[in-house]
Structure 1
Protein backbone atom coordinates (compact mmCIF):
# COMPACT_ATOMS: atom_id res chain seq x y z
CA UNK A 1 0.00 0.00 0.00
CA UNK A 2 1.33 3.44 -0.94
CA UNK A 3 2.03 5.76 1.98
CA UNK A 4 1.19 9.46 2.14
CA UNK A 5 1.60 12.43 4.46
CA UNK A 6 -1.25 14.93 4.68
CA UNK A 7 -0.53 18.65 4.99
CA UNK A 8 -3.07 20.19 7.36
CA UNK A 9 -4.75 19.49 10.69
CA UNK A 10 -8.18 21.04 10.13
CA UNK A 11 -11.53 19.68 9.04
CA UNK A 12 -10.44 19.06 5.47
CA UNK A 13 -7.39 17.11 6.63
CA UNK A 14 -9.63 15.01 8.87
CA UNK A 15 -12.02 14.38 5.97
CA UNK A 16 -9.14 13.57 3.62
CA UNK A 17 -7.75 10.96 6.00
CA UNK A 18 -11.19 9.35 6.22
CA UNK A 19 -11.63 9.13 2.45
CA UNK A 20 -8.12 7.89 1.78
CA UNK A 21 -8.53 5.17 4.40
CA UNK A 22 -11.88 3.82 3.20
CA UNK A 23 -11.67 4.38 -0.56
CA UNK A 24 -8.13 4.48 -1.90
CA UNK A 25 -4.91 2.45 -2.19
CA UNK A 26 -3.13 4.91 0.11
CA UNK A 27 -2.21 4.68 3.78
CA UNK A 28 -1.97 7.95 5.71
CA UNK A 29 1.08 7.75 8.01
CA UNK A 30 1.44 11.30 9.37
CA UNK A 31 0.33 14.91 9.20
CA UNK A 32 2.43 18.00 8.65
CA UNK A 33 1.96 21.75 9.08
CA UNK A 34 4.24 24.76 9.38
CA UNK A 35 6.03 24.51 12.72
CA UNK A 36 4.49 27.74 14.06
CA UNK A 37 1.05 26.13 13.79
CA UNK A 38 1.82 22.89 15.64
CA UNK A 39 -0.21 22.85 18.87
CA UNK A 40 -0.41 19.11 19.54
CA UNK A 41 1.88 16.15 18.95
CA UNK A 42 -0.83 14.10 17.23
CA UNK A 43 -3.90 14.53 15.04
CA UNK A 44 -6.38 11.75 14.36
CA UNK A 45 -4.05 9.34 16.14
CA UNK A 46 -1.07 10.10 13.90
CA UNK A 47 2.05 12.20 14.55
CA UNK A 48 2.39 15.79 13.35
CA UNK A 49 5.72 16.90 11.89
CA UNK A 50 6.99 20.38 10.96
CA UNK A 51 6.64 20.96 7.23
CA UNK A 52 10.01 22.71 7.20
CA UNK A 53 11.76 19.40 7.91
CA UNK A 54 9.24 16.83 6.67
CA UNK A 55 11.54 15.37 4.00
CA UNK A 56 13.99 14.29 6.74
CA UNK A 57 11.33 12.07 8.30
CA UNK A 58 9.46 11.03 5.15
CA UNK A 59 11.74 11.17 2.09
CA UNK A 60 9.92 12.10 -1.12
CA UNK A 61 11.35 9.08 -2.92
CA UNK A 62 9.44 6.85 -0.48
CA UNK A 63 6.36 8.88 0.46
CA UNK A 64 3.82 11.03 -1.35
CA UNK A 65 1.78 13.97 -0.06
CA UNK A 66 -1.68 15.49 -0.14
CA UNK A 67 -2.35 19.18 0.62
CA UNK A 68 -5.62 19.26 2.57
CA UNK A 69 -6.48 22.95 2.74
CA UNK A 70 -9.59 24.97 1.94
CA UNK A 71 -10.24 27.93 -0.34
CA UNK A 72 -8.52 30.43 2.02
CA UNK A 73 -7.28 33.55 0.22
CA UNK A 74 -9.05 32.40 -2.96
CA UNK A 75 -7.14 29.09 -2.96
CA UNK A 76 -3.75 30.81 -2.94
CA UNK A 77 -2.66 29.33 0.38
CA UNK A 78 -3.35 25.84 -0.94
CA UNK A 79 -1.53 26.73 -4.16
CA UNK A 80 1.49 27.96 -2.17
CA UNK A 81 1.76 24.76 -0.15
CA UNK A 82 1.25 22.72 -3.32
CA UNK A 83 4.22 24.48 -4.91
CA UNK A 84 6.38 24.18 -1.78
CA UNK A 85 5.71 20.45 -1.55
CA UNK A 86 6.62 20.05 -5.22
CA UNK A 87 9.86 21.95 -4.62
CA UNK A 88 10.68 19.48 -1.84
CA UNK A 89 10.35 16.71 -4.41
CA UNK A 90 7.01 15.23 -3.40
CA UNK A 91 4.49 13.79 -5.79
CA UNK A 92 1.05 15.14 -4.87
CA UNK A 93 -1.64 12.46 -4.96
CA UNK A 94 -5.28 12.97 -5.89
CA UNK A 95 -8.40 11.41 -4.44
CA UNK A 96 -11.31 10.67 -6.78
CA UNK A 97 -14.25 9.01 -5.08
CA UNK A 98 -15.24 5.60 -6.37
CA UNK A 99 -18.78 6.98 -6.24
CA UNK A 100 -17.94 9.79 -8.67
CA UNK A 101 -19.21 9.33 -12.23
CA UNK A 102 -15.97 10.26 -13.99
CA UNK A 103 -16.61 9.88 -17.72
CA UNK A 104 -13.85 12.10 -19.09
CA UNK A 105 -11.04 10.34 -20.88
CA UNK A 106 -8.57 12.81 -19.32
CA UNK A 107 -7.22 12.17 -15.83
CA UNK A 108 -7.34 15.01 -13.34
CA UNK A 109 -4.16 16.75 -12.22
CA UNK A 110 -2.22 16.33 -8.98
CA UNK A 111 -3.66 17.07 -5.54
CA UNK A 112 -7.27 17.03 -6.66
CA UNK A 113 -9.99 16.18 -4.12
CA UNK A 114 -13.09 14.96 -5.97
CA UNK A 115 -15.95 13.79 -3.78
CA UNK A 116 -18.87 11.42 -4.27
CA UNK A 117 -21.89 11.99 -6.54
CA UNK A 118 -20.09 14.26 -9.00
CA UNK A 119 -20.79 13.83 -12.71
CA UNK A 120 -17.78 14.72 -14.84
CA UNK A 121 -18.70 14.39 -18.49
CA UNK A 122 -16.56 13.41 -21.52
CA UNK A 123 -13.79 15.75 -22.70
CA UNK A 124 -13.63 17.62 -19.37
CA UNK A 125 -10.09 18.61 -18.33
CA UNK A 126 -9.26 19.23 -14.66
CA UNK A 127 -5.94 20.80 -13.65
CA UNK A 128 -3.83 20.50 -10.51
CA UNK A 129 -5.00 21.22 -6.97
CA UNK A 130 -8.74 21.37 -7.65
CA UNK A 131 -11.34 20.58 -4.98
CA UNK A 132 -14.75 19.46 -6.22
CA UNK A 133 -17.04 18.81 -3.24
CA UNK A 134 -20.02 16.47 -3.54
CA UNK A 135 -22.90 16.45 -6.00
CA UNK A 136 -21.75 18.69 -8.87
CA UNK A 137 -22.24 18.53 -12.65
CA UNK A 138 -19.23 19.38 -14.83
CA UNK A 139 -20.43 19.59 -18.44
CA UNK A 140 -18.77 18.21 -21.54
CA UNK A 141 -15.70 19.91 -23.03
CA UNK A 142 -15.30 22.20 -20.01
CA UNK A 143 -11.88 23.03 -18.60
CA UNK A 144 -11.18 23.51 -14.90
CA UNK A 145 -7.79 25.19 -14.45
CA UNK A 146 -5.50 24.70 -11.45
CA UNK A 147 -6.18 25.88 -7.89
CA UNK A 148 -9.99 26.06 -7.88
CA UNK A 149 -12.67 25.18 -5.33
CA UNK A 150 -16.13 24.03 -6.42
CA UNK A 151 -18.48 23.55 -3.48
CA UNK A 152 -21.67 21.44 -3.74
CA UNK A 153 -24.52 21.09 -6.24
CA UNK A 154 -22.89 23.44 -8.73
CA UNK A 155 -23.83 23.15 -12.40
CA UNK A 156 -21.11 23.95 -14.93
CA UNK A 157 -22.56 23.65 -18.42
CA UNK A 158 -20.72 22.46 -21.51
CA UNK A 159 -17.71 24.24 -23.07
CA UNK A 160 -17.08 26.38 -19.98
CA UNK A 161 -13.70 27.54 -18.70
CA UNK A 162 -12.95 28.04 -15.02
CA UNK A 163 -9.67 29.91 -14.75
CA UNK A 164 -7.43 29.61 -11.68
CA UNK A 165 -8.15 30.78 -8.12
CA UNK A 166 -11.96 30.76 -8.37
CA UNK A 167 -14.60 29.77 -5.83
CA UNK A 168 -18.07 28.55 -6.82
CA UNK A 169 -20.65 28.56 -4.01
CA UNK A 170 -23.35 25.98 -3.41
CA UNK A 171 -26.12 25.72 -6.00
CA UNK A 172 -24.46 28.19 -8.36
CA UNK A 173 -24.96 27.73 -12.11
CA UNK A 174 -22.61 28.53 -14.98
CA UNK A 175 -24.26 28.76 -18.41
CA UNK A 176 -23.04 27.20 -21.64
CA UNK A 177 -19.73 28.39 -23.11
CA UNK A 178 -19.00 30.85 -20.29
CA UNK A 179 -15.50 31.74 -19.05
CA UNK A 180 -15.13 32.38 -15.33
CA UNK A 181 -12.06 34.61 -15.14
CA UNK A 182 -9.20 34.17 -12.70
CA UNK A 183 -10.06 34.89 -9.08
CA UNK A 184 -13.83 35.13 -9.58
CA UNK A 185 -16.01 34.46 -6.54
CA UNK A 186 -19.47 33.14 -7.39
CA UNK A 187 -21.79 33.19 -4.39
CA UNK A 188 -24.33 30.54 -3.44
CA UNK A 189 -27.24 30.22 -5.90
CA UNK A 190 -25.81 32.79 -8.33
CA UNK A 191 -26.46 32.22 -12.05
CA UNK A 192 -23.70 33.30 -14.46
CA UNK A 193 -24.59 33.51 -18.17
CA UNK A 194 -21.76 35.73 -19.43
CA UNK A 195 -17.99 35.87 -19.07
CA UNK A 196 -16.74 37.40 -15.82
CA UNK A 197 -13.95 39.87 -15.11
CA UNK A 198 -10.90 38.80 -13.08
CA UNK A 199 -11.44 38.89 -9.30
CA UNK A 200 -15.08 39.90 -9.65
CA UNK A 201 -17.72 38.91 -7.08
CA UNK A 202 -21.16 37.68 -8.09
CA UNK A 203 -24.09 37.20 -5.71
CA UNK A 204 -27.80 36.54 -6.37
CA UNK A 205 -30.73 38.64 -5.10
CA UNK A 206 -31.22 38.17 -1.39
CA UNK A 207 -34.07 36.18 0.08
CA UNK A 208 -36.59 38.34 1.94
CA UNK A 209 -38.36 37.81 5.25
CA UNK A 210 -42.13 38.10 4.92
CA UNK A 211 -44.22 39.72 7.62
CA UNK A 212 -46.07 36.46 8.18
CA UNK A 213 -45.87 33.36 10.32
CA UNK A 214 -45.62 29.96 8.67
CA UNK A 215 -48.81 29.01 10.50
CA UNK A 216 -50.64 31.79 8.61
CA UNK A 217 -50.05 30.05 5.29
CA UNK A 218 -52.22 27.37 3.77
CA UNK A 219 -49.99 24.56 2.59
Structure 2
Protein backbone atom coordinates (compact mmCIF):
# COMPACT_ATOMS: atom_id res chain seq x y z
CA UNK A 1 0.00 0.00 0.00
CA UNK A 2 1.43 3.34 -1.07
CA UNK A 3 2.07 5.77 1.78
CA UNK A 4 1.11 9.03 0.10
CA UNK A 5 -0.21 10.96 3.12
CA UNK A 6 1.79 12.22 6.10
CA UNK A 7 0.03 11.96 9.46
CA UNK A 8 0.53 13.37 12.95
CA UNK A 9 -1.30 11.61 15.79
CA UNK A 10 -2.51 13.92 18.55
CA UNK A 11 -2.15 12.13 21.88
CA UNK A 12 0.16 9.76 23.71
CA UNK A 13 -2.37 7.33 25.18
CA UNK A 14 -2.88 3.64 24.46
CA UNK A 15 -5.32 4.70 21.75
CA UNK A 16 -2.57 6.80 20.15
CA UNK A 17 -0.31 3.76 19.96
CA UNK A 18 -3.16 1.62 18.60
CA UNK A 19 -3.97 4.27 16.01
CA UNK A 20 -0.31 4.25 14.96
CA UNK A 21 -0.48 0.49 14.32
CA UNK A 22 -3.65 0.66 12.23
CA UNK A 23 -2.64 3.70 10.21
CA UNK A 24 0.83 2.24 9.62
CA UNK A 25 -0.16 -1.26 8.53
CA UNK A 26 -3.67 -0.82 7.12
CA UNK A 27 -3.89 2.60 5.44
CA UNK A 28 -2.18 4.91 3.00
CA UNK A 29 -1.00 7.20 5.84
CA UNK A 30 2.57 7.40 7.10
CA UNK A 31 2.71 8.43 10.75
CA UNK A 32 5.57 10.90 11.24
CA UNK A 33 5.07 12.21 14.79
CA UNK A 34 2.92 12.37 17.90
CA UNK A 35 1.82 15.61 19.53
CA UNK A 36 0.61 16.48 23.04
CA UNK A 37 -0.37 19.73 24.71
CA UNK A 38 2.72 21.11 26.43
CA UNK A 39 1.32 20.79 29.95
CA UNK A 40 1.06 17.02 29.42
CA UNK A 41 4.25 16.51 27.43
CA UNK A 42 6.35 13.88 29.22
CA UNK A 43 8.01 11.72 26.54
CA UNK A 44 10.35 12.80 23.76
CA UNK A 45 9.60 9.72 21.67
CA UNK A 46 6.83 7.15 21.19
CA UNK A 47 7.43 4.08 19.05
CA UNK A 48 10.59 5.70 17.70
CA UNK A 49 8.81 8.88 16.56
CA UNK A 50 9.12 12.37 18.04
CA UNK A 51 6.54 13.77 20.43
CA UNK A 52 6.10 17.50 19.93
CA UNK A 53 4.19 20.25 21.70
CA UNK A 54 0.72 20.75 20.26
CA UNK A 55 1.12 24.49 20.64
CA UNK A 56 4.16 24.43 18.32
CA UNK A 57 2.96 21.84 15.83
CA UNK A 58 2.51 24.13 12.83
CA UNK A 59 6.03 25.52 13.25
CA UNK A 60 7.45 22.07 12.49
CA UNK A 61 4.80 20.55 10.23
CA UNK A 62 3.16 22.65 7.54
CA UNK A 63 -0.64 22.30 7.81
CA UNK A 64 -0.87 22.26 4.02
CA UNK A 65 1.20 19.08 3.84
CA UNK A 66 0.10 17.01 6.84
CA UNK A 67 -3.00 15.29 8.16
CA UNK A 68 -3.85 14.87 11.83
CA UNK A 69 -5.87 12.40 13.86
CA UNK A 70 -6.82 13.03 17.50
CA UNK A 71 -6.44 9.73 19.34
CA UNK A 72 -8.41 10.58 22.47
CA UNK A 73 -11.19 8.40 23.79
CA UNK A 74 -14.49 9.35 25.45
CA UNK A 75 -13.21 11.61 28.24
CA UNK A 76 -15.78 14.29 29.15
CA UNK A 77 -18.25 12.67 26.75
CA UNK A 78 -15.84 13.00 23.84
CA UNK A 79 -15.37 16.73 24.34
CA UNK A 80 -11.59 16.50 24.69
CA UNK A 81 -11.32 14.79 21.31
CA UNK A 82 -13.78 17.28 19.84
CA UNK A 83 -11.91 20.32 21.16
CA UNK A 84 -8.56 19.12 19.87
CA UNK A 85 -10.06 18.18 16.51
CA UNK A 86 -11.51 21.67 16.12
CA UNK A 87 -8.22 23.29 17.13
CA UNK A 88 -6.45 21.23 14.48
CA UNK A 89 -8.96 22.42 11.87
CA UNK A 90 -8.42 26.01 12.99
CA UNK A 91 -4.68 25.52 12.52
CA UNK A 92 -5.42 24.49 8.94
CA UNK A 93 -4.75 20.76 9.14
CA UNK A 94 -6.68 18.16 7.18
CA UNK A 95 -8.37 15.49 9.29
CA UNK A 96 -7.62 11.81 8.78
CA UNK A 97 -10.08 8.94 9.12
CA UNK A 98 -9.51 5.21 9.32
CA UNK A 99 -11.78 2.35 8.27
CA UNK A 100 -10.38 -1.11 8.89
CA UNK A 101 -10.00 -3.34 5.87
CA UNK A 102 -11.59 -6.01 8.08
CA UNK A 103 -14.77 -4.02 8.77
CA UNK A 104 -17.96 -4.53 6.78
CA UNK A 105 -19.26 -1.11 5.79
CA UNK A 106 -21.98 -1.09 3.16
CA UNK A 107 -21.38 1.06 0.08
CA UNK A 108 -24.06 3.68 0.79
CA UNK A 109 -23.12 4.31 4.43
CA UNK A 110 -22.34 7.98 5.12
CA UNK A 111 -19.37 8.60 7.42
CA UNK A 112 -18.38 12.01 8.72
CA UNK A 113 -14.86 13.38 8.90
CA UNK A 114 -12.31 12.33 11.53
CA UNK A 115 -13.79 8.90 12.21
CA UNK A 116 -12.13 5.63 13.27
CA UNK A 117 -13.76 2.26 12.58
CA UNK A 118 -12.04 -0.82 13.96
CA UNK A 119 -12.08 -4.39 12.68
CA UNK A 120 -15.17 -6.64 12.67
CA UNK A 121 -17.67 -3.80 12.76
CA UNK A 122 -20.80 -4.40 10.69
CA UNK A 123 -22.34 -1.18 9.42
CA UNK A 124 -25.46 -1.92 7.41
CA UNK A 125 -27.07 -0.07 4.50
CA UNK A 126 -28.33 3.50 4.88
CA UNK A 127 -26.50 4.12 8.16
CA UNK A 128 -25.24 7.65 8.79
CA UNK A 129 -22.32 8.26 11.16
CA UNK A 130 -21.59 11.82 12.20
CA UNK A 131 -18.24 13.56 12.40
CA UNK A 132 -15.66 12.44 14.94
CA UNK A 133 -17.10 8.96 15.46
CA UNK A 134 -15.22 6.01 16.97
CA UNK A 135 -16.50 2.46 16.57
CA UNK A 136 -14.26 0.12 18.56
CA UNK A 137 -14.09 -3.51 17.43
CA UNK A 138 -16.98 -5.86 16.78
CA UNK A 139 -20.09 -3.66 16.84
CA UNK A 140 -23.30 -4.06 14.86
CA UNK A 141 -24.85 -0.86 13.54
CA UNK A 142 -28.25 -1.65 12.04
CA UNK A 143 -29.74 -0.34 8.83
CA UNK A 144 -31.09 3.22 8.62
CA UNK A 145 -29.66 4.19 12.01
CA UNK A 146 -28.17 7.65 12.43
CA UNK A 147 -25.49 8.93 14.78
CA UNK A 148 -24.82 12.56 15.61
CA UNK A 149 -21.33 14.00 15.95
CA UNK A 150 -18.67 13.09 18.51
CA UNK A 151 -19.93 9.65 19.49
CA UNK A 152 -17.96 6.68 20.84
CA UNK A 153 -19.14 3.08 20.69
CA UNK A 154 -17.14 0.52 22.66
CA UNK A 155 -16.87 -3.15 21.62
CA UNK A 156 -19.63 -5.63 20.75
CA UNK A 157 -22.54 -3.25 21.11
CA UNK A 158 -25.69 -3.76 19.05
CA UNK A 159 -27.55 -0.77 17.66
CA UNK A 160 -30.56 -2.11 15.79
CA UNK A 161 -32.30 -0.60 12.78
CA UNK A 162 -33.87 2.86 12.57
CA UNK A 163 -32.22 4.16 15.76
CA UNK A 164 -31.22 7.79 16.23
CA UNK A 165 -28.26 8.52 18.51
CA UNK A 166 -27.62 12.15 19.48
CA UNK A 167 -24.36 14.07 19.65
CA UNK A 168 -21.69 13.34 22.27
CA UNK A 169 -22.97 9.91 23.28
CA UNK A 170 -21.08 6.94 24.68
CA UNK A 171 -22.32 3.36 24.21
CA UNK A 172 -20.58 0.77 26.38
CA UNK A 173 -19.37 -2.76 25.79
CA UNK A 174 -22.13 -5.29 25.01
CA UNK A 175 -24.92 -2.72 25.21
CA UNK A 176 -28.02 -3.56 23.16
CA UNK A 177 -30.41 -1.04 21.67
CA UNK A 178 -33.54 -2.41 20.02
CA UNK A 179 -34.91 -0.97 16.79
CA UNK A 180 -36.66 2.42 16.45
CA UNK A 181 -35.05 3.91 19.57
CA UNK A 182 -34.15 7.59 19.98
CA UNK A 183 -31.30 8.49 22.33
CA UNK A 184 -30.77 12.16 23.12
CA UNK A 185 -27.43 13.92 23.06
CA UNK A 186 -24.94 13.67 25.95
CA UNK A 187 -26.06 10.22 27.06
CA UNK A 188 -24.02 7.40 28.57
CA UNK A 189 -25.26 3.88 27.89
CA UNK A 190 -23.40 1.59 30.26
CA UNK A 191 -21.80 -1.77 29.54
CA UNK A 192 -24.36 -4.52 29.12
CA UNK A 193 -27.35 -2.15 29.18
CA UNK A 194 -30.51 -3.18 27.33
CA UNK A 195 -32.38 -0.19 25.88
CA UNK A 196 -36.07 -0.85 25.21
CA UNK A 197 -37.39 2.71 25.15
CA UNK A 198 -36.31 6.22 24.16
CA UNK A 199 -33.72 7.99 26.33
CA UNK A 200 -33.88 11.72 27.01
CA UNK A 201 -30.97 14.15 26.68
CA UNK A 202 -28.19 13.88 29.25
CA UNK A 203 -29.20 10.56 30.82
CA UNK A 204 -26.97 7.80 32.21
CA UNK A 205 -28.19 4.23 31.81
CA UNK A 206 -26.32 1.73 33.94
CA UNK A 207 -25.68 -1.80 32.78
CA UNK A 208 -26.23 -4.85 34.96
CA UNK A 209 -23.15 -5.38 37.14
CA UNK A 210 -21.99 -8.84 38.17
CA UNK A 211 -22.51 -9.83 41.78
CA UNK A 212 -18.84 -10.41 42.54
CA UNK A 213 -19.32 -11.13 46.22
CA UNK A 214 -22.03 -13.69 45.51
CA UNK A 215 -19.91 -15.45 42.93
CA UNK A 216 -16.98 -15.48 45.32
CA UNK A 217 -19.02 -17.06 48.12
CA UNK A 218 -20.50 -19.64 45.78
CA UNK A 219 -17.02 -20.59 44.66
CA UNK A 220 -15.85 -20.93 48.26
CA UNK A 221 -18.80 -23.20 49.10
CA UNK A 222 -18.15 -25.41 46.08
CA UNK A 223 -14.55 -25.83 47.15
CA UNK A 224 -15.59 -26.82 50.68
CA UNK A 225 -17.98 -29.43 49.33
TM-score range, shorter chain: over 0.9
How far the C-alpha of 1:106 sits from its partner, in A, is: 3.2
* Structure that is richer in helix per residue: 2
Moved more, 65-74 or 34-43: 34-43
Inter-CA distance 205–64: structure 2 relative to 1 (3 Å threshold): closer
Q: Which whole-Å CA distance do the structure 1 matches of 2:132 and 2:155 have between them? A: 17
What does residue range 41-120 of structure 1 map to in structure 2 within 5 Å? 41-120=44-123
Q: Which whole-Å CA distance do the structure 1 matches of 2:55 and 2:119 have between them? A: 33
Q: Which whole-Å CA distance do the structure 1 matches of 2:115 and 2:141 have between them? A: 15
Counting matched residue pairs gives 217
Off by >4 Å, runs of 4+ in structure 1 = none
Kept in 1: contact 2:131–2:150 (CA 8 A): yes
SS in 1 for 2:82: helix
SS in 1 for 2:111: coil
Kept in 2: contact 1:104–1:125 (CA 8 A): no
Q: Which whole-Å CA distance do the structure 1 matches of 2:96 and 2:156 have between them? A: 25
* 2:39 aligned with 1:33: no
Kept in 2: contact 1:182–1:198 (CA 8 A): yes
1:129-163 Cα distance to aligned partner (Å, 9 max, x none): 11100000000001111101100000000011111
RMSD of aligned Cα (Å) = 1.4
Q: Which whole-Å CA distance do the structure 1 matches of 2:34 and 2:58 have between them? A: 12
Kept in 1: contact 2:109–2:123 (CA 8 A): no
TM-score, normalised via structure 2 length: 0.92
Moved more, 187-196 or 204-213: 204-213
How far the C-alpha of 1:215 sits from its partner, in A, is: 7.6
